[in-house]
Amino acid sequence: MNEIPSRLADVRRRIAAAAVAAGRAAEDVQLLAVSKTKPVEDILAAWSGGQRRFGENYLQDALPKIHALSAYPIEWHYIGRLQGNKTAEVAGNFAWVHSLDQLRHALRLDRQRPPELPPLMVCIQVNLSGETSKGGVSADALPELVAAVSELPGLRLRGLMTMPDPTYPGDRTRATFRRLHQLLSELRQSGRPLDTLSMGMSADLELAIAEGATIVRIGTDVFGPRGTH
């Protein structure tokens, strides 16, 4: 028996409950189902449960699945680290990128976005925990990157993304989400038309929604645990 549709329904209920608890509408929070490492059959099981947006972060793993599912109008989101020599495949196969953190990658994605496709929707990843191993621009460098990316016609900057240090206790995780929201508000006040806060995973989606998440990225609680990758 495939448990993915019922897991998906559980996650949707959690999202709706968290939104209502925060005084928000359930429709204001989108579920991105993170299907990294999971097979096409699992994606189709989620599809049959009504899911249309899927997130991947290993390009080698994602591309065969995207091609196998090309008959389905799935919205693919790239959430992994960008590499300079692989940006063309991201620009050609995804609708969204959540993990932009370098201008040189933005310039390549802009140039490589196929003209017949709509602009690539983009979130800039912000590193608010100072972990050097992790992607993301610093809060200090953010306004300059926002200004540069906003000029690129092949990209449409939608908002910000962050991943708190997974070792943080809940209060620090929540403070990190609050800080990302504050950064978005500052950019909006300076005239940037941004509407997206991509934050919250299986373990912390309630905290993220309480702090204003508009997209939560959920893998484990939709598809079950991943093997090591």
Ligand X SMILES: *Cc1c(COP(=O)(O)O)cnc(C)c1O
Which residues here bind ligand X, judged by CB under 6 A? 34, 36, 57, 79, 163, 201-203, 217-221
**The tokens of 195 are what?**
């509407």
CB of 113 to ligand X, least distance (A): 21
Nearer to ligand X, 57 or 93 (CB): 57
CB of 191 to ligand X, least distance (A): 29
CB of 71 to ligand X, least distance (A): 26
Nearer to ligand X, 13 or 188 (CB): 13
CB of 202 to ligand X, least distance (A): 3
Q: Using CA atoms, how far apart are residues 34 and 217, in angstroms rounded to an integer?
A: 6
Q: Which DSSP string corresponds to 110-156? A: HHHS-TTSPPEEEEEEB--S--TTS--B-TTTHHHHHHHHHT-TTEE
Burial class of residue 178 in the structure, from the number of CB atoms within 10 Å of its CB (0-12 exposed, 13-18 middle, 19+ buried): middle
Nearer to ligand X, 110 or 204 (CB): 204
Nearer to ligand X, 115 or 229 (CB): 229
Q: Using CA atoms, how far apart are residues 76 and 54, in angstroms rounded to an integer?
A: 5
CB of 38 to ligand X, least distance (A): 10
Nearer to ligand X, 155 or 208 (CB): 208
What residues have CB less than 8 Å from 175, skipping those under 6 apart?
A: none
Can you point out the beta strands (E) in 16-174?
30-34, 53-56, 75-78, 96-100, 120-125, 155-161
